[in-house]
């Protein structure tokens, strides 16, 4: 606690006076706040970590930060892969992890009103008791917060059918840079008054405002068993053809994944097993709902007609666990840079071939998985150094450029953060970059919300 009156003049003193024991300056808290799961660590410790308990705590922090022009880095579960939640010298890391109350679940309205720090899986467990579920399902759902999912517009395996987080967000309570509290969006299913500011905040990576509460849509749980099928293709072109044919036929699996040959080899070695009818370039699809069995049979027929070896299973948990073992399997060989490009589904085959070309050009192996149903690829780089080596960044640069030239994007779901800000202008172009930077300045005139993340004005030279 502060003892001398002059200490109240410091930012830390003001924070402690307003928030007491919620302001942490111990070594362990500061060290934790210097990194997320991107592999990036800041080279200095932040000023402090503030553990907010409610919207009013966040207001108090933002008022002090605004007056003193102190940067604020908002942090949820710290599971981000873009370096967006990393704090460094002179910054306040504002953690919402303790704002983890599920305020209300309305079965009539099919939504949940939550504080932003609720863990994705905890919301799902609570909703399940009422026959409902929350569709966004990032593989990090046991650690990541609903606020973090919203701030990164997170995706997951079920995006193929149920869309990304944006589709599930109705209303947000946001604390602005100057401490003002706004309620954006609508509690209702429909609502078109004014601009879609919820859409703007979704994916804003802590640069426009602090999301403290949200109303998110829930779906009714259906009771039909899911069906899962897997197939193995000898080469990546055959796998890509099967993906495109499945979509072209109008088939809608709920999960639709590709694991390329190098990646399925790493996973099989790690788990010391290969699921039946897999190996090589693997496709996994899961169907759900009333027609799940018939749809699985139709997709299986199509894949067989394209020369793939196919296997259908009832629940397929084994297959999904195989897919989910991707990161630990690669981590068994070193650090991993998980890339995240997305292309139109019609260009998936081209992008997969580009990855093989980039492997040869840079002398690297790039084991890749893809959310085949939505065109989002995760090409991975394994390395042993402390930081990502230059050769890998050069190969990643070639990946980004290939994706963009195919009508795709730098990042499908992980965000820009620190890691990709230098490429943002290449994708947006100068005019749109300036427009977006103008929006950022309108929301945050003093540039105190996550400065240096997403936007790097030096790129304009
Ligand atoms: C093993 C693993 C698997 C993953 N799988 C997926 C996946 O399948 N799909 C996917 O999309 N991502 C995935 N991720 C990435 C990550 O989990 C997601 O980006 C997640 O949404 C981040 O949530 P978080 O609460 O951890 O946010 P953090 O990492 O704490 O923050 C992420 C960004 O959001 C901002 N932010 C956080 N909370 C708020 C808030 N309340 N208001 C304003 N800004 C905020 C931060 O400033 C930062 O820029 C994975 C990560 C790991 C480690």
Same domain, residue pair 254 and 393: yes
356: which residues sit within 8 A by CB, 6+ positions away? 236
Same domain, residue pair 328 and 392: yes
The mean pLDDT of the chain is 95
Q: State what percent of residues in the chain have pLDDT above 90.
A: 91
Q: Atom of ligand 1 at shortest distance to CA of 450? A: 47
Token pair listed for 461? 């030279």
d(CA 19, CA 177): 18
d(CA 173, CA 150): 12
55: which residues sit within 8 A by CB, 6+ positions away? 173, 175, 181, 212, 213
Q: What is the DSSP letter of 225?
A: P
Token pair listed for 102? 């599920």
- Cα(145) to ligand 1 centroid in Å equals 7
Confidence band for 276, pLDDT divided at 50, 70 and 90: low
Using only the alpha carbons of the chain, give its radius of gyration: 23
Token pair listed for 65? 């930060």
Residues in the chain: 461
Confidence band for 273, pLDDT divided at 50, 70 and 90: confident
* CB 45 less than 6 A from any atom of ligand 1: no
DSSP of 45-111: --SEEEE--SHHHHHHHHHHHHHHT--EEEESSS--SSSTT---TTPEEEE-TT---EEEEETTTTE
Question: Tokens 């830390």 map to which residue?
Answer: 12
Question: Does 210 fall in a domain?
Answer: yes
| pLDDT, tens only, 143-159 | 999 999 999 999 999 99
- Cα(308) to ligand 1 centroid in Å equals 36
Is the pLDDT confidence value at 255 over 70? yes
Same domain, residue pair 81 and 45: yes
Element spanning 13, H or E? helix 11-19
Task: Give me the numbers of helices (H) and strands (E) for the chain, helices first please.
Answer: 15, 18
Same domain, residue pair 388 and 329: yes
d(CA 35, CA 335): 14
- Cα(250) to ligand 1 centroid in Å equals 32
* CB 148 less than 6 A from any atom of ligand 1: yes
Token pair listed for 146? 């609903």
* CB 37 less than 6 A from any atom of ligand 1: yes
Residue pair 113/104 in contact by the 8 Å Cβ criterion: yes
The residue among 181, 199, 220 that closes a domain is 220
Same domain, residue pair 35 and 123: no
Tell me which residue of 94, 100, 89 sits closest to 66, measured CA to CA. 94
Confidence band for 7, pLDDT divided at 50, 70 and 90: low
Question: Does 413 fall in a domain?
Answer: no
pLDDT mean over 86-106: 98
Question: Does 34 fall in a domain?
Answer: yes
Question: Tokens 């998110």 map to which residue?
Answer: 216
Residue pair 415/76 in contact by the 8 Å Cβ criterion: no
d(CA 391, CA 399): 12
d(CA 451, CA 40): 16
Same domain, residue pair 197 and 327: no
* CB 87 less than 6 A from any atom of ligand 1: no
- Cα(73) to ligand 1 centroid in Å equals 13
The residue among 47, 75, 95 that closes a domain is 95
DSSP of 377-416: EEEEEEE-SSS--HHHHHHHHHHHHHHHHTT-BS-SSS--
The residue among 54, 72, 95 that closes a domain is 95
Same domain, residue pair 125 and 163: yes
Q: In this predicted structure, which of 37-51, 110-124, 162-176, 278-292 has the lowest mean pLDDT?
A: 278-292
Confidence band for 315, pLDDT divided at 50, 70 and 90: confident
Q: What CATH number did the domain enclosing 90 receive? A: 3.30.43.10
Question: Does 415 fall in a domain?
Answer: no
Question: Does 410 fall in a domain?
Answer: no
Where in the sequence is the domain holding 149, given as residue range(s)? 102-220
Cα separations (Å) of 429 from 336, 414, 432, 447? 29, 20, 6, 22
Same domain, residue pair 196 and 113: yes
Tell me, yes or no, if the pTM score tops 0.85.
yes
- Cα(7) to ligand 1 centroid in Å equals 35
Same domain, residue pair 265 and 387: yes
Domain count, the chain: 4
Q: What is the pLDDT of residue 461?
A: 54
Residue closest by Cα to atom 9 of ligand 1: 138
H helix intervals, 194-235? 197-201
Give, rounded to a whole angstrom, the gap between the first and last alpha carbons of the chain. Answer: 46
Question: Does 416 fall in a domain?
Answer: no
182: left (phi > 0), else alpha (psi -120 to 50), else beta? beta
Confidence band for 401, pLDDT divided at 50, 70 and 90: very high
Confidence band for 275, pLDDT divided at 50, 70 and 90: low
Same domain, residue pair 261 and 380: yes
Q: Atom of ligand 1 at shortest distance to CA of 79? A: 26
Q: What is the pLDDT of residue 459?
A: 67
Q: What is the DSSP letter of 226?
A: P
| pLDDT, tens only, 107-118 | 999 999 999 999
Question: Does 142 fall in a domain?
Answer: yes
């Amino acid at each position: 606690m502060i003892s001398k009156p002059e200490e109240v003049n410091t930012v830390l003193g003001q924070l402690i006076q307003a928030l007491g024991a919620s302001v942490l300056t111990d070594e362990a808290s500061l060290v934790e706040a210097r990194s997320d799961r991107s592999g990036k660590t800041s080279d200095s410790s932040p000023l402090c970590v503030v553990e907010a308990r409610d919207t009013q705590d966040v207001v108090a922090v933002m008022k002090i930060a605004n007056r003193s022009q102190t940067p604020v880095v908002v942090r949820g579960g710290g599971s981000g892969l873009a370096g967006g939640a990393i704090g460094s010298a002179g910054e306040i890391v504002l953690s919402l992890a303790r704002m983890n109350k599920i305020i209300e679940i309305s079965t009539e309205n099919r939504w949940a009103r939550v504080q932003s720090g609720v863990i994705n899986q905890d919301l799902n467990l609570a909703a399940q008791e009422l026959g409902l579920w929350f569709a966004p399902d990032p593989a990090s759902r046991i650690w990541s917060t609903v606020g973090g999912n919203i701030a990164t517009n997170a995706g997951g395996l079920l995006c193929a059918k149920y869309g990304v987080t944006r589709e599930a967000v109705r209303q947000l309570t946001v604390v602005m840079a100057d401490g003002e509290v706004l309620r954006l969006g609508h509690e209702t299913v429909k609502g078109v008054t004014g601009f879609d500011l919820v859409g703007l905040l979704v994916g804003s990576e802590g640069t426009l405002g602090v999301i403290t509460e949200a109303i998110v849509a829930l779906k009714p749980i259906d009771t039909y068993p899911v069906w899962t099928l897997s197939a193995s293709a000898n080469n990546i072109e055959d796998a890509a053809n099967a993906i495109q044919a499945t979509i072209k036929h109008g088939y809608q699996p709920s999960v639709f994944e590709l694991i390329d040959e190098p990646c399925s080899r790493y996973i099989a070695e790690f788990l010391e097993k290969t699921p039946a009818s897999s190996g090589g370039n693997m496709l996994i699809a899961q169907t759900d709902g009333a027609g799940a069995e018939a749809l699985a049979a139709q997709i299986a027929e199509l894949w067989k007609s394209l020369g793939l070896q196919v296997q259908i299973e009832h629940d397929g948990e084994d297959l999904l666990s195989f897919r989910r073992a991707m990161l630990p399997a690669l981590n068994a060989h070193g650090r991993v840079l998980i890339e995240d490009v997305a292309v139109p589904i019609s260009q998936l085959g081209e992008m997969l071939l580009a990855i093989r070309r980039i492997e040869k050009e840079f002398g690297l192996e790039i084991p890749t998985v893809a959310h085949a149903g939505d065109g989002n690829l995760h090409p991975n780089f394994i390395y042993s150094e402390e930081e990502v080596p230059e050769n890998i960044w050069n190969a990643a640069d070639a990946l980004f450029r290939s994706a963009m030239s195919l009508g795709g994007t730098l990042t499908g779901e992980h965000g820009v953060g620190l890691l990709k800000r230098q490429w943002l202008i290449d994708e947006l172009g100068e005019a749109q970059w300036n427009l977006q930077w103008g929006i950022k300045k309108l929301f945050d005139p003093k540039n105190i919300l996550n400065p240096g993340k997403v936007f790097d004005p030096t790129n304009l030279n």
